[in-house]
Structure 1
Amino acid sequence: MGLKDELEIIIAALKSFPDGASLEVLNEFLSVPIEKRTLQRRLKKLKENNFVYTKGGSHATRYFVKNIDQTLSKTEKLDEPQTIIPLSQDGKDVLDLVSSPETQRTPVGYERSFLENYRPNIDSYLSNEEKRKLGEWGKTKDENQPAGTYAREILNRLLIDLSWNSSRLEGNTYSLLDTELLIHEGQAANNKSAKETQMILNHKEAIEFLVESSNEADFNRYTILNLHALLSNNLLPNPAASGRLRTFGAGITNSAFAPLGIPQLIEDFFNLILEKAKQIENPFEQAFFILVQLPYLQPFDDVNKRVSRLAANLPFNQHNLAPLSFIDVPEEIYVKGMLGIYELNRIELFKDVFLWAYERSALRYAAIRQSLGEPDPFRMIYREEIRGAVGHIVMNAMGKAEASNTVKIEARKLPDEDQVKFIEVVETELLDLHEGNFVRYRIKPSEFADWKKRWDNP
């Protein structure tokens, strides 16, 4: 069943509830079962595209069709992921193939030769030109310093960015500022699930583990198994599965791919991935190799992609290169890129995502914003609203919790489809505000000083 099919089923079900339906009620009423987390993502997509709206908060949320007479002819554009990432022709070809309905895609199993035939430093997923560009983007002033120097310098921001973006790619609905409050002040968002809170905290601990263990962390069993243990803590049905390889078969939601199911082979190929990764000399090829091969094997019960995203930062940490925190990467295109690997053993779409994501991350940490290309149209459209929200928060010396609520209130004044993006942009501006740039918000030095004192010392 394809994306558009699922959207049609959800809209059809919601039309039967003029007074709205909770997630649980809607899930029971669907004509075809949809996994709960997938249903949440589909509802989020429908809301962002102005087909659905909500009332209530937290567990009392009810979903409504925006227009009861609305048809889904307009959802043709939703059948493919909306992406700001420029795609190569090969990437577009893969996207077309994996965007067809699941029932039309050929069921496949784990292709052993995809890993076995890869020869480190002879074969390469990345071209020489791509490696050169990545090297230029990732270079820092700490390249000759001990491993982990650069990551420690930016650790406070890396913890927030990587924890939030990696969790967001799993459907987590914490905002950027919610994440900052949780990580630096231990304050959980009161309208989020315990599972979402746990996921963010697990990322924090796993990132700290990588940075603090810079001399020991490598592509070895100790590092990868412990990464999984930290990232999966209190999230698996079987707690004993944390830090252990999978011993039973597994499936991939909305995919025609069936992962390897024989425990001994999972063990063998897991070891082979680590052996080959360790032999690769180029840090960017190392990172991309692990992003491709680890989720493809699915060596753990769950949390495989999260492990791969953090493990990809191992070579960047070791060589003091800019980290990869998946800033702005759309969840839908990331998933499609993974499907290309799972079902076709084709890396082109996922490579497009990787190259774009790394440049974006490197520029964030190098603060070379002018290299991001044309001005962000969203920021231009809502320039005054963004300036007003940031200025109001600073002039009133709001702390982080009060600021988070204020941003959400201000966002409600915008069209439904722009509210999530507005919250992210304003929260990012607040986290990036410093004595060298606050003047653009028409803030007085005394106002900035009062706000900064409250912001940093709640």
Structure 2
Amino acid sequence: MTILLDKESKVLSSLSNSPKSLSELAEELGAGFSKTTVHRLISSLAKDGKVVSSGAGRSAKYEVTNLGRLFNPLVPEEYFRKGQDDRQALTSLNFDLLDTFRSHDLFSQEEMRTLVERQREFEERWKGLSPVLRQKEMERLAIDLSWKSSQIEGNTYTLLQTESLFKEEKRAKGKIKEEAVMLLNHQAAMDYILNKPGYFGELTVKKILEIHRFLTKGLGIPNKVRSGRIGITGTNYKPLSNTHQIQKTLQDVCDLINTKRNVLEKALIALLFIAYIQPFEDGNKRTARILCNALLLANKYCPISFRTVDPEDYRYVTLLFYEQNSISSFKKMFMEQFEFSTANYF
């Protein structure tokens, strides 16, 4: 099964660069990819809606669909062996991707069984906790989340220094003021969503802006949808630059999240798309992580601290989605962190 997935991924990756005939695919992929093998793989992928063809006979060309991109099991370590300018990557936002998210389940049945089981275990433990212990555990998770979310953005506070800042208002020596402000802003944002249970049951652009305002207070970042171009280090992907287009896409994402019934899909979409759209000059991924938790908490799901995520790995799986629209690695990280949180808090 692993070998088959690896071969399918190589076919999808090749077609994501440009449409190709069976002969062209076999020639490009080389050893292990005879014309017969490629034909069998293409037939399977076409049946699943992951590739489509144009033309007939030997002149037929095949290209990857949005569904094929979405579930292409790319491995970040392999993908990023090539440099930024050598990768055949998407360089602009794929508007059609929203329809693909809308019409397909993001988790397999097996994945959902695992996640639902973890959620039920959390619910059982939650019922047995006193209000005091619930609050203490939520505070612990909020400290871990604030520390890790800030670390992903380059903050150098340690977890213990973050705890001292929150509990004793003690700023770490040798750290700049902005690092403490970033952490305290996370605390304020978490307090806000915890004090408004159910408020994020339905997502709006206004609510996204509210979270962004908490996270960027005192950091000189405008709390409004940006205008103009921005670049992202490490990738040639360029987010939207037109304010009206950004606002419209942000609203479309809210509509998508609100129509999804699966709470974990809601959280995953928020985590991915707020970063993908980059609606603000800064603070986008921080906003995405807090919104992800706001959606989980509003629906009585276990929040996620991201405590064991490696910041570099987080950046790689995020860039992989920007450049190839593949969610496989990002989803794996999301699932691992949800399972970690359900096992280690409450």
If the TM-score is normalised by the length of the shorter chain, which range does it land in? 0.7 to 0.9
Measured against aligned partners, the alpha-carbon deviations of 1:270-328 in whole angstroms (never above 9, x if no partner) come to 00001110111111111111111111111111111111111111232123222111011
Q: Give the alignment's TM-score, normalised by structure 1.
A: 0.56
Q: Distance in 2 between matches of 1:200 and 1:155?
A: 16
Q: Distance in 1 between matches of 2:81 and 2:271?
A: 21
Task: State the partner residue of 1:161.
Answer: 144
Q: Give the SS at the match of 1:118.
A: helix
User: What pairs with 1:141-156 in structure 2 (closer than 5 Å)?
Assistant: 141=124, 152=135, 154-156=137-139
Q: Distance in 2 between matches of 1:293 and 1:165?
A: 20
Tell me which of 222, 227, 230 is aligned to 2:206.
222
Tell me which of 133, 150, 157 is aligned to 1:174.
157
Q: Determine whether 1:98 maps to 2:83.
A: no
**Residues 150, 257 of structure 1: CA spacing in aligned structure 2 closer, same or farther, 3 A cutoff?**
farther
Q: Give the SS at the match of 2:106.
A: coil
Tell me which of 166, 169, 191 is aligned to 1:186.
169
Amino acid at match of 1:287: A
Q: Determine whether 1:260 maps to 2:244.
A: no
Is contact 2:98-2:256 (8 Å) kept?
no
Q: Distance in 1 between matches of 2:87 and 2:320?
A: 11
Q: Distance in 2 between matches of 1:340 and 1:299?
A: 19
Q: Distance in 2 between matches of 1:356 and 1:198?
A: 29
Q: Distance in 2 between matches of 1:308 and 1:90?
A: 23
User: What pairs with 1:52-451 in structure 2 (closer than 5 Å)?
Assistant: 90-92=73-75, 94-106=76-88, 108-119=91-102, 122-139=103-120, 140-141=123-124, 152=135, 154-218=137-201, 219-236=203-220, 239=221, 241-242=222-223, 244-366=224-346
Q: Distance in 2 between matches of 1:282 and 1:135?
A: 11
Q: Distance in 1 between matches of 2:132 and 2:253?
A: 27
Q: Distance in 1 between matches of 2:298 and 2:136?
A: 14
Q: How many residues align?
A: 270
Q: Give the SS at the match of 2:199.
A: coil
The offset of 1:142, in angstroms, is 7.5
Is contact 1:99-1:336 (8 Å) kept?
no
The offset of 1:152, in angstroms, is 4.3
**Residues 115, 89 of structure 1: CA spacing in aligned structure 2 closer, same or farther, 3 A cutoff?**
closer
Q: Distance in 2 between matches of 1:151 and 1:314?
A: 17
Is contact 1:150-1:320 (8 Å) kept?
no
Q: Distance in 2 between matches of 1:130 and 1:117?
A: 19
Q: Distance in 2 between matches of 1:157 and 1:345?
A: 34
Q: Give the SS at the match of 2:174.
A: coil
Q: CA RMSD in A?
A: 2.4
Identify unmatched segments of 5+ residues in structure 1. 1-87, 367-458
Q: Give the alignment's TM-score, normalised by structure 2.
A: 0.73
Determine which structure has greater relative contact order: mean sequence separation of CA pairs < 8 Å that are 6+ residues apart, divided by chain length: 2
Amino acid at match of 2:243: P
Q: Give the SS at the match of 2:101.
A: coil
Q: Distance in 1 between matches of 2:255 and 2:206?
A: 13
Q: Relative to structure 2, which stretch is displaced further, 186-195 or 331-340?
A: 186-195
Q: Distance in 1 between matches of 2:215 and 2:133?
A: 23
